[in-house]
């Protein structure tokens, strides 16, 4: 009896490690490319205007296909989609490393974004459906969240190390062995998908097409705005058409018998709150990475490896906060309090980082703010997705996580675009313009930092929309105690 229980616990631990590895793959890929961009541009002949599409092509595909990926996990089976996603991710990473032209690399990155859009919701669905709601799931989500934060830190560091020692191609090749390990573990550790039954319904093909194209166009318009101009057809036209398609998506969902995202889900208070907070969280996070990187490289003169090392305190504290601290606070204080504190601390850290930026400043002047915002951001990240899955049926966990993550991706595009505009508002960035004064650059970065801090604090206030009253659900703790989980 004891042996079977121990074996079951060991298997559950290995299953969680596999799912955490999948999240690590997604997270590390988010950051590992940035420091390699100058080398990629030189090697493949990207222009300064087109180089951003090494990042943007991934973001457009990831953001556009997330909702499709979430529903695919619910309808086709999370394990099946998990494996398909890993194959797409690994093959596209290999092609990206072997690319010899800008077109091939951008296409490979787009396919990698599609793989990520399938992998993220299927991973989160497997976590939510494999671990009971309460203490067990909180711990699993904490491991998942802290691994994601660790991946962000490792991405920045490894990007600098690999680019400097082996060349830019290895930021893509390094993904392949991680994917192979995950593919080997999937059939061994993940339970087979349940047979499809009639009550699962069909797949909403018109809704999937409309929302995928609509979301893709919205993200494409957002990432095109800073480069092409917000009134250019490429940016404004994409935003308008995308918004119209998304509006029509809701009409389709109201009439179809098997909706991609049932409209009743938008009446789930926890889900809607998590989506709003996710939008504001990522708006500040994407801008924070940009502001911090710009400051230490353009103002302090750090090279790629030094910049990667500079991110370590942020990533380590985010791992700690998103792991054991988040699990403990979720069990003791509940979703509402934990999410509020996480976003508030996040905003305070952003403000402290902005305040530490000056023409005569050093890394140590911004480190306290960076550390605080890393801790708060990690705590909030884990809690956002615990909130998104709260009270959602197991058959709809994929689409719930996809809705929250879609809000994140749109928030990232909006936040980055807005903060770049604010940071550059006092600079002459036209072709042939003189190099802007350091003081003007720092003033712009500081102003953008204050706005990012405000977005995070607004997210803390939105978190108060969650229900305050605790649920009566009690789940057994490891020590045999009962722990009441607040909502």
Length of the chain measured in residues: 487
Which range of 29-43, 255-269, 331-345 scores highest in mean pLDDT? It is 331-345
- Looking at residue 429, its pLDDT comes to 52
Mean pLDDT calculated for residue range 185-193? 86
Q: In the prediction, which pLDDT does 351 show?
A: 94
pLDDT higher for 438 or 188?
Answer: 188
Query: Quick one: pLDDT at residue 96?
Result: 94
Span of 139-143, 226-230, 336-340, 415-419 with lowest mean pLDDT: 226-230
pLDDT value of residue 473:
36
If one compares 122 and 410, the residue with the highest pLDDT of the two is 122
The yes-or-no verdict on residue 127 having pLDDT over 80 is: yes
Farthest CA pair distance, the chain: 76
Segment among 152-156, 165-169, 232-236, 332-336 with least mean pLDDT:
152-156
Q: Is residue 359 pLDDT above 80, yes or no? A: yes
pLDDT class for 480, splitting at 50, 70, 90? very low
Please, which pLDDT band fits residue 170 given cuts at 50, 70 and 90? very high
- For residue 424, pLDDT over 50 is answered with yes
pTM, entire model: 0.74
Radius of gyration of the chain (CA): 22
Statement: residue 344 has pLDDT above 90: yes
Q: Give the range with max mean pLDDT: 309-318, 335-344, 431-440.
A: 335-344
Provide the 8-state DSSP code for 191: P
The pLDDT, as a whole number, for residue 430 is 52
Facing residues of 474 across strands?
484
CA distance 487 to 475: 13
Distance CA 120, CA 391 (A): 20
Tell me the pLDDT band of 196, cut-offs 50, 70 and 90.
low
Summarize the confidence of residues 73-81 as an average pLDDT.
Answer: 86
447 CB-near residues (< 8 Å, 6+ apart): 354, 422, 423, 425
What band does 376 get if pLDDT is binned at 50, 70 and 90?
very high
Instruction: Calculate the CA 228 to chain-centre distance.
Output: 25
Cα 88 from Cα 288, distance rounded (Å): 30
Q: How confident is the model at residue 372 (pLDDT cuts 50, 70, 90)?
A: very high
Is residue 484 within a helix (H) or strand (E), and if so which, with residue range? strand 482-484
Q: Which residues have a Cβ under 8 Å from the Cβ of 288 and sit 6 or more positions away?
A: 350, 353, 373, 377, 449, 452
For 297-329, b/e burial (b = at least 16 CB within 10 A) is bebeebebbebbebbebbbbbbbbbbbebbbeb
pLDDT at 111 over 90: yes
pLDDT for 343 equals 93
Q: How far apart are CA 159 and CA 40, in angstroms?
A: 12
As a whole number, the mean pLDDT across the chain is 80
pLDDT-derived band of residue 401, with 50, 70 and 90 as boundaries?
confident
Locate 68 and state its tokens.
């499709």
DSSP H helical ranges for 131-204 = 135-165, 170-173, 175-189
pLDDT at 438 over 90: no
pLDDT at residue 228 tops 90: no
Q: Is the pLDDT of residue 478 over 60?
A: no
More reliable by pLDDT, 459 or 226 = 459
Tokens of 460: 């803390």
Residue 86 burial (C-beta neighbours within 10 Å; 0-12, 13-18, 19+): buried
Tokens of 128: 């939510």
Q: How confident is the model at residue 134 (pLDDT cuts 50, 70, 90)?
A: confident
């Amino acid at each position: 009896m004891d042996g079977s229980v121990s074996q079951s616990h060991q298997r559950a631990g290995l299953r969680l490690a596999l799912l955490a590895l999948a999240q690590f793959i997604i997270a590390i890929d988010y950051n590992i490319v940035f420091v390699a961009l100058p080398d990629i541009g030189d090697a493949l002949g990207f222009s300064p205007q087109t180089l951003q599409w090494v990042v943007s092509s991934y973001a457009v595909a990831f953001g556009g296909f997330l909702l499709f990926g979430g529903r695919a996990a619910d309808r086709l089976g999370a394990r099946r989609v998990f494996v398909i996603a890993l194959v797409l991710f690994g093959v596209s990473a290999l092609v990206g490393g072997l690319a010899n032209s800008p077109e091939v690399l951008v296409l490979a990155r787009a396919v990698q974004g599609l793989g990520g859009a399938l992998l993220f919701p299927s991973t989160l669905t497997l976590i939510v459906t494999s671990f009971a709601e309460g203490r067990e799931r909180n711990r699993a989500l904490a491991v998942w969240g802290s691994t994601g934060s660790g991946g962000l830190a490792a991405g920045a560091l490894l990007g600098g190390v690999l680019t400097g020692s082996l060349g830019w191609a290895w930021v893509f090749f390094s993904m392949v062995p991680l994917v192979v390990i995950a593919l080997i573990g999937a059939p061994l550790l993940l339970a087979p998908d349940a047979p499809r039954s009639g009550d699962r319904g069909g797949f909403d093909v018109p809704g999937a097409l409309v929302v995928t194209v609509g979301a893709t166009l919205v993200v494409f318009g957002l990432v095109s705005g800073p480069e092409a101009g917000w009134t250019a057809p490429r940016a404004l036209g994409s935003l308008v058409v995308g918004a119209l398609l998304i509006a029509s998506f809701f009409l389709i969902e109201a009439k179809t018998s098997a909706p991609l995202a049932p409209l009743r889900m938008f009446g789930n208070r926890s889900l809607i709150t998590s989506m709003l907070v996710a939008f504001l969280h990522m708006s500040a996070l994407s801008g924070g990475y940009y502001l911090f990187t710009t400051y230490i490289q353009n103002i302090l003169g750090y090279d790629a490896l030094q910049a990667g090392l500079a991110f370590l305190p942020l990533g380590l504290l985010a791992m700690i906060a998103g792991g054991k601290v988040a699990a403990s606070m979720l069990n003791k204080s509940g979703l509402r309090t934990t999410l509020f504190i996480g976003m508030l601390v996040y905003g305070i850290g952003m403000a402290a980082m902005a305040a530490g930026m000056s023409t005569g400043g050093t890394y140590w002047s911004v480190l306290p703010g960076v550390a605080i915002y890393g801790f708060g951001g990690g705590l909030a990240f884990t809690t956002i997705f615990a909130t998104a899955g709260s009270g959602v049926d197991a058959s709809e966990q994929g689409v719930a996580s996809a809705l929250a993550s879609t809000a994140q991706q749109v928030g990232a595009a909006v936040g980055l675009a807005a903060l770049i505009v604010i940071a550059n508002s006092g600079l002459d960035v036209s072709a042939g313009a003189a190099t802007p004064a350091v003081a003007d650059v720092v003033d712009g970065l500081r102003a953008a930092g204050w706005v990012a801090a405000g977005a995070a604090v607004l997210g803390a206030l939105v978190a108060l929309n969650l229900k305050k009253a605790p649920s009566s659900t009690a789940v057994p703790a490891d020590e045999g105690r009962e722990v009441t989980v607040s909502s």
